[in-house]
Structure 1
Amino acid sequence: MIETDVLIIGGGPAGLEAGKTIALENLNVVILNKNFKNKQTQLVYKSGLEDLDLFVGNSLLNEVQELAMVSPNKNKVTLSNDNINSSEKGYLIDSEKFIQKLKKETIDLGCEIKNETKAVSLEKTKEGYKVKCQSNDTDYEINCKILIIADGYPSNVSKAFNIKSPSKYANICQCLVNGIDMDKIEFHFGSISPNGYIWIYPLKDSKVEVGISIEGDGHKKYLLKFINSYFNLNLKDIDVVEAKVPISGVINNPIRDNILVCGDAAGQYNPFIGGGIISSIKGARYTGKVAAGAIKNNDCSRDFLKRYRKLVMDDFGEDFNKLVKVRNYAFSLNDKEIDSIAISFEGVSFYNMNLLDVLKRLVSISPKAILKLGKLL
């Protein structure tokens, strides 16, 4: 029997960051890592890294100077250092290397990570939870005061406690294409990726990472068709990395007595532009802060833990829930409407514009926007 203050199920960014935060409070942490792998290239922004005092280290693949939104007829709305705040500069990172960096930091702080290990049963105790674990052919039990669920989307552990996972998801996949030289990120919208978008990330050595995020199936087929058309290639197949990501905003109730849910399992993923590392780490830090406070106050009740949800909602949760409506509006547009919007934004300076300013401009262009986004204005 292993005794610990906190048991975290999930060894991704959210689970690791929650473990680091709790370990800094001199509490014991065990993390179960079933087999987390993330070989995606991710876009993170300078402001997000600075807010969290994060360093990408050797995971940096490229620094982004320009980003272009591309409409079906190839109109481009370009964001660059000339027309946006420089704090929003982007970095392309290797997720696998970034997570390895987090893992080392977590271990250095004294957290115990049990790899290739899964939770097979959970039982409520007077002090918290008893979790039966399985690693290869070995079974053992862990007693904890607080259980943190960070097993990604969809969360199998959350189901055991009748905690609703995010209601909608997108299928994403991406692949590496060689022999292509580009110096800016591009996001492509329209019928080429129904209910979603395609991105191109410029890497070094004449390589790009091309990916797609759509609701529904057929993502690999749409991606292959785009790659062949846009780069004038004749590929028969592509080797992709695939995943499902939540797109319905943060969940309403990520807590129970002695339980907290964070990361993708809690819907802490930007539902419009994608990307979950920064928001997952933010959510995980709030998780760790509240969990540590609960243990030190000897109160792991739902009533004490509910402050975690308020911290998340005040920081980014409310914005993410608004972005669900923006997503629904944006992906309801046909190609002609997208082209019209792109033309109207050409040459616009975004330096001092916020989301509300952009939405107001959309309403002036597209009557449909007032119906879909009216409550956000």
Structure 2
Amino acid sequence: MKDSYDVIVVGAGPAGVATSIICRKKGFKVLLLDKKKKGKIGDKVCGEAISKKTVHCAVEKLGVDPPQEDEVNTLIEELVLRTALPKNHIILPAIGYMVDRHKFGQRLLSDAIKAGVILKEQFRVKEPIVENSKVIGILVKDIENNLIEIHSKMVIDCSGTMATIRINLPEEYEPFLNKSLTKEDFAPCYREIIELNKNHDLEGKIVLQYEMDIPEPGYIWFFADGENRLNCGTGFIKVGKHAKKSVKSVYFQAMEKYYPKGTYKTLDGRGDVVPIRAPLWNAVGDGLIVAGDAAFHADPLTAEGHGPALLAGCFAGEVACEALEKNSFKLEDLWKYNTLVMKEFGADHARARILTIVLEKIGPKKLEFLLKRKVVKQEDLTSAGILKKRSFIDYLDRVIKCFPKYGLLLIMKKAISTSKAVANHCKAYPTSPDDYETWNSKVLELYSWIS
């Protein structure tokens, strides 16, 4: 059995539905596949925070409504980075929503179907079909385990962290596209929605609480999710000495310090995996675009992937439509997608990855020292602060405050200078694949400065 479409979208999460809506509204025949039952699509373990700016930008492109009424649990205003210190936290602006991921996901799926997108539920994608170095379709198994070959002009891989299409590409397919997935690329996590016996004091806040006993990225999160509800969780990269650690055990041990057993009831508790690295530097190949978690589009610091996935899906849809209109699907035809992602959030996420590496290197105790002495300030972690030119007096002031731990100051100085260099380099992302190899070598060199 062979079917044929203009676009096949693998995965009906935010990136997948966004891509599907964009392509269908341009009149193209779109097939959207997901391994889940239709009613379960959107029911994903996550922190549920989403940037207001990002989601409004995405829904404007899609022509759909932003999160409505019961799709929004509460509003958020601040991202707080905390250690064991009673004060001297780092507080960064984070205007957005805590959404009901399932309800919002179901509504976006409904919007896609109303637009004319064809949904096939409970289809398990096995691998891409590649012919003459171009992705021309996919092999899938339906609910009855029938193997089905489906052809298309374009395939969009929105299959989540495990990147079903990308990692099953032949090695000889597009050398600029990373086809690997290592244990260092993602963090298994455990998340609970809890209802406290009394109201919390985190209204409008999403908190990353850094703890000595939690491996990289090193924090347990507490996100306000209503008057007496919190979204709590942790996750870490399971390699080396942490390979056999139980994420749930680490989570419950950390929870006892802040919300002991008996002070809350668990409404939902589940595990999953989240990407924890910089975005794919190139996410396209002939006939293929990779978006969302499959392209590591989540923020490496906060693990917020919902908003970036929506935007990436919009960009994937726009670029796919341009290629379909020209009937040309080569690497250079799709390259614009990379530049859109890098400009919108890719550069910020590249910098955020440097921050997570540095925070893991210094650990919570040394971070406490830097915060207490005001060697590290809130502005140092913002985009404007990283790019700011510093005076001799500013450096001298920090040297004095850092006494006698000058090694820490050197680490932070290197982190800030590397972040600045990465920011400038990402701004100069090549507009065509011709200059990519040189650009990529440089970005890898910059990361080696801090690794």
Q: TM-score range by the shorter chain?
A: 0.7 to 0.9
Deviation of the 1:210 alpha carbon: 1.2
Aligned residues of 1:166 and 1:251 also touching (Cα < 8 A): no
Q: Is residue 2:130 matched to residue 1:129?
A: no
Counterpart selection for 2:221 from 194, 199, 205? 199
The match for 1:45 is 51
Aligned length: 368
The match for 1:277 is 306
Counterpart selection for 2:189 from 158, 172, 186? 172
The match for 1:158 is 166
Alignment TM-score, normalising by the size of structure 2: 0.74
The match for 2:444 is none
Change (3 A) 1:135 1:48: same
Deviation of the 1:180 alpha carbon: 4.3
Comparing 41-50 and 358-367, the one that deviates more: 358-367
Give the fraction of aligned pairs with identical amino acids, expressed as a percent. Answer: 19
Deviation of the 1:253 alpha carbon: 2.9
Q: How does 1:1-377 map to 2 (within 5 A)?
A: 1-35=2-36, 36=41, 37-52=43-58, 53=60, 55-57=66-68, 58-77=70-89, 79=91, 84=93, 88-125=94-131, 129-137=136-144, 138-161=146-169, 162=171, 163-165=178-180, 167=182, 168-178=185-195, 179-184=197-202, 185=205, 186-195=207-216, 196-204=218-226, 206-216=228-238, 217-233=245-261, 240-344=269-373, 354-357=382-385, 364=398, 366-367=408-409, 368-377=411-420
1:305-329 CA distances to partner (integer Å, 9 max, x unpaired)? 1221122122221221222111100
Residue 240 of structure 1 aligns to a residue whose secondary structure is strand
Comparing 354-363 and 18-27, the one that deviates more: 354-363
Say which structure is richer in helix: 2
Comparing 126-135 and 140-149, the one that deviates more: 126-135
Aligned residues of 1:62 and 1:203 also touching (Cα < 8 A): yes
RMSD across aligned C-alpha pairs, in angstroms?
A: 2.9
Unaligned runs of 5+ in 2: 172-177, 239-244, 403-407, 421-451
1:127-149 CA distances to partner (integer Å, 9 max, x unpaired)? 96243332111443322001111
Unaligned runs of 5+ in 1: none
Give the Cα separation in 1 of the matches to 2:71 and 2:47: 10
Deviation of the 1:120 alpha carbon: 3.1
Alignment TM-score, normalising by the size of structure 1: 0.87
Comparing 311-320 and 124-133, the one that deviates more: 124-133
